[in-house]
Structure 1
Amino acid sequence: MAAAHASAGIPREPERAPIRVDTLHRMRPGRMPEVRPIQVRWPDGRAWRVERIVARDEYTMPGAGGLVVRWRVILAGQLKTLYQQGDTWFVRARKQTGGDRT
């Protein structure tokens, strides 16, 4: 798929929350390696298996480091959006709504 030139709602740097994603790398003769997320790990240690990949879209982000891949995946039965920029994975950070959330 060709990369689209658009923001596509991709979070800017201050709106990003880094996450760790375990990936599966598949090599196919004559093609670029295929990378797929298989498990998402939050910084607090919680982890979820990627149940299904719904969509994968590529976007070029001038001034933001080039190519960003937006993944729409099912985690714990819910549709979630992950972003990948090179080896870095992130989600949109939740906005704090006053007070301490415990």
Structure 2
Amino acid sequence: MGAAQDWRWSSARSHIAGRRAADDPLTDIAALGAHVPNWRAMLARGLEAGGLDTAGEAVADAIEARLRKGRLLGAEEWIARQEAECGRRLTPARPGPKPRGGEA
């Protein structure tokens, strides 16, 4: 299917660039730019992300990365408190085979 900015008749290319693309005689950047200031974020994450600045995009990227891996996003101290409260490990264990019995 491809990204919206790759579609022949899409105005997304112009909106992402912040100026009308050479082959796009119809797009009015100012008209929709006032409503969706960050087209790249909106196309990647949905309409509610269209207002994100660079810092907001970085936070959204961090959240999505943690969600994909099933990991918590928070300060180490907060995660340690959550582990203590629920009595189980919430952070990933070291990869590889685990030691047997009394071996260290």
TM-score (norm 1): 0.20
TM-score (norm 2): 0.20
Higher-Rg structure is 2
Q: Which has the higher contact order (CA 8 A, sep 6+)?
A: 1
Greater helix share, structure number: 2
